[in-house]
Amino acid sequence: MEATVEKTNHEKLQLAWEKIPYGAKAIIFDEFGYTRQNVLDIVGNGRKDDAIILKLLEEIKIASKRVTDAVNDRNNKIQAL
């Protein structure tokens, strides 16, 4: 049996940024106040403070959920037609 290796917070952040849904990056930039360069620096640089990594990861989750909820709401309205 192979032991599972827990991903670091930085690895989770990188994966989240790769998989972020369309439209969620705009929320990260517009509403959470990040610049593209700032995000790329945090995602690309694993030497950042873990609190900064976790904050961005949590904000990606929030933005992703908001976009997903909006898409699901629109889909439900279309399906109800």
Which pTM was predicted? 0.86
Distance CA 20, CA 13 (A): 10
What's the length of the chain?
A: 81
Distance CA 12, CA 33 (A): 21
Distance CA 16, CA 1 (A): 28
Q: In the chain, what are the domain boundaries? A: 9-79
For residue 5, give the amino acid letter.
Answer: V
The pLDDT, as a whole number, for residue 4 is 79
Reported as a pLDDT band with limits 50, 70 and 90, residue 1 is low
Q: Could you write out the DSSP letters of every residue in 30-71?
A: HTS---HHHHHHHHH-TTS-HHHHHHHHHHHHHHHHHHHHHH
pLDDT tens column, 12-68: 999 999 999 999 999 999 999 999 999 999 999 877 789 999 999 999 999 999 999
